[in-house]
Amino acid sequence: MRIELKDITKKFQQEVESLNIPTLSIQTNQTVGFIGNNGSGKTTLFKLILDLLKPTNGEVLIDGKSVGESNKWKEYTGSYIDEKFLIDFLYPEEYFHLIKDVYKISDNDYVSRIELFADFMNNEILDKKKYIQSYSKGNKQKIGIIGAMLPFPDILILDEPFNFLDPTSQSILNKIINAYGKMNNKTILISSHNINYINDLCDKIILLEAGKIKYNIDNIKHDNSEILNEYFRI
């Protein structure tokens, strides 16, 4: 599904402009990585795309329709931004089953899809008789990511998915996202400070600085070391 941003600005307190993107187009079958320092606008951008924030000006379109005027896009979009996306008083199993029911996933598909994340869960998530609120930040991150991917959405949005994971879990997640991106009609948006994973996973890198797009790099399989190194000097 194509995502388009047109004349987007977002202002918060004291009329400070947090985001200013005149135009951005993300195509179906693209995996796009967003990088930039804290406060550069990555999370704000994702929240605008998900209609969790309203732009001060402009509009976000998914499949040609404004996200604020249609709910159709929600049927094929999965996302995880932070712990607020979880339901703390549920067991992980209950949370996953809720997603299963909302997205009308069959019993057989549910079982096979959960099995795909077995290595990622590392026997730390299921059958623990613990509410989600009792899990570590890393395991909460895993629960949120699995919940986002469980419906096999056409659009997947993950904000800093590697943040709280140990190195082994980061490597496994990298392989999962890489495999998922090779499926048909999947559009993936990821933000991360981990340049190695972004460079490995993505077809496009967008570097944000102070709410503006500084670089929009296509075909990133080529050497972009000079531009990526500049990221660390912002």
> What is the per-residue pLDDT for 234?
42
Residue 136: closest CA among 176, 83, 87, 97: 83
pTM for this model (two decimals): 0.93
> What is the per-residue pLDDT for 16?
77
Domain extent listing, the chain: 3-231
pLDDT digits (tens, 9 = 90+) for 88-144: 999 999 999 999 999 999 999 999 999 999 999 999 999 999 999 999 999 999 999
pLDDT digits (tens, 9 = 90+) for 174-196: 999 999 999 989 999 999 988 88
Q: Which residue has the tokens 């249609």?
A: 70
Residues 210 and 36: beta-carbon distance below 8 Å:
no
Lowest mean pLDDT among 139-153, 155-169, 186-200: 186-200
Sheet holding 155-159, edge to edge: 77-80, 155-159, 187-191, 31-35, 204-209, 212-218
In this structure, which CATH number among 1.20.1050.10, 3.30.420.40, 3.40.50.720, 3.40.50.300 belongs to the domain 3-231?
Answer: 3.40.50.300
C-alpha torsion sign, points 74, 145, 53, 196: negative
User: Which residue type, as a one-letter code, is found at position 77?
Assistant: T
Q: Rounded to whole angstroms, how far apart are CA atoms 194 and 89?
A: 31
Q: Rounded to whole angstroms, how far apart are CA atoms 133 and 143?
A: 11
Q: Which residue has the tokens 């929009």?
A: 216
